């Protein structure tokens, strides 16, 4: 449904509903009681009209923004938001989030780094709020420049009350693995696993730790225990739904291949175990 139609219907429904409630005493009880009713409840009527004016003012003030979103005019949206942020200095949360998303949709990811630099100078508090989103350029070039990713995600993960800390820590561990800093990566992944992350991130963490299992028997036992726990909680179909429901995280989109590999590892290991039971179990049967 077109935005303009929704706007008109919204106002029509609100005004008709209010008119019906406000005029009902006149229709049912006559003009004398209606006059008394109005004299006692006029403040409610004024408050309603003021609220309606404020809501309409918000919609009209952002009319261009809503039309650009409706038409999926991402380049036009970027131009408008960049004017707000860079020229007018209106660095509001909603504008920053939409601008980052528009950069991603139009494959203008390099501009996210410029926005990060601008906010670091003008409004650094927003960097913490959108630390995960500002990490997108570092994720995309992590293979070529893992050191920059390590610096960014390591610093971001240590910020106080930063949103999505677990995903930042996992990204930090990934940058360490690419630099072959295996011991530091293992410590970070173990700390992440101990923090009870969401299931998708738990799967990625256990899968990452499995690469250290061959040289660490104690860790191998824990990896197997965690793997069995994940298999017991989720079927293959439920994993697919879980991954889909987490697609709001940019890491899910960027590392979809790694996530699918981790899921395959999870159930392939289960199949191998069932086909080749331990010697003790073979003896019993």
Indicate whether 272 pLDDT > 60: no
Residue 223, burial from CB neighbour count under 10 angstroms (0-12, 13-18, 19+): buried
pLDDT tens digits, 21-61: 777 766 666 676 667 767 777 787 788 888 888 888 888 88
Give the model's confidence band at 271: pLDDT under 50 very low, under 70 low, under 90 confident, else very high.
low
Q: What is the mean pLDDT of the chain?
A: 85
pTM for this prediction = 0.77
CA–CA distance, 176 with 189 (Å, rounded to integer):
11
List of long-range contacts for 88-95, beta carbons under 8 Å, 24+ apart: 89/122, 91/119, 91/122, 91/123, 91/126, 93/126, 93/129
pLDDT tens digits, 75-129: 999 999 999 999 999 999 989 999 999 999 999 999 999 999 999 999 998 999 9
CA–CA distance, 160 with 163 (Å, rounded to integer):
9
Task: Say if CB 227 and CB 269 are below 8 A apart.
Answer: yes
Give the model's confidence band at 278: pLDDT under 50 very low, under 70 low, under 90 confident, else very high.
very low
């Amino acid at each position: 449904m077109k935005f303009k139609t929704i706007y008109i219907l919204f106002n029509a429904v609100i005004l008709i509903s209010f008119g019906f409630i406000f005029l009902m005493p006149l229709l049912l009880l006559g003009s004398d009681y209606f006059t008394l009713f109005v004299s006692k409840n006029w403040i409610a009527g004024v408050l309603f009209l003021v609220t309606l004016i404020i809501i309409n003012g918000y919609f009209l003030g952002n009319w261009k923004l809503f039309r650009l979103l409706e038409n999926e005019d991402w380049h036009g949206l970027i131009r408008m938001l960049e004017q707000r942020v860079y020229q007018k200095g209106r660095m509001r949360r909603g504008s920053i989030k939409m601008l980052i998303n528009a950069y991603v949709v139009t494959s203008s990811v390099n501009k996210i780094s410029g926005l990060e630099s601008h906010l670091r100078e003008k409004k650094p508090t927003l960097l913490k709020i959108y630390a995960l989103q500002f990490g997108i350029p570092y994720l995309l070039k992590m293979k070529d420049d893992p050191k920059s990713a390590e610096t960014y995600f390591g610093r971001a993960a240590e910020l106080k009350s930063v949103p999505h800390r677990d995903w930042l820590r996992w990204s930090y561990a990934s940058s360490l693995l690419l630099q072959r800093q295996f011991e530091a990566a293992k410590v970070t992944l173990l700390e992440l696993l101990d923090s009870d992350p969401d299931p998708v991130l738990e799967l990625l963490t256990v899968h990452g730790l499995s690469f250290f299992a061959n040289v660490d028997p104690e860790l191998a036992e824990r990896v197997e225990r965690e793997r069995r726990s994940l298999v017991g909680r989720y079927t293959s179909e439920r994993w697919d739904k879980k991954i889909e429901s987490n697609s709001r995280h940019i890491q899910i989109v960027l590392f979809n291949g790694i996530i699918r590999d981790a899921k395959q590892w999870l159930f392939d290991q289960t199949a191998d175990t069932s086909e080749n039971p331990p010697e003790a179990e073979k003896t019993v049967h």
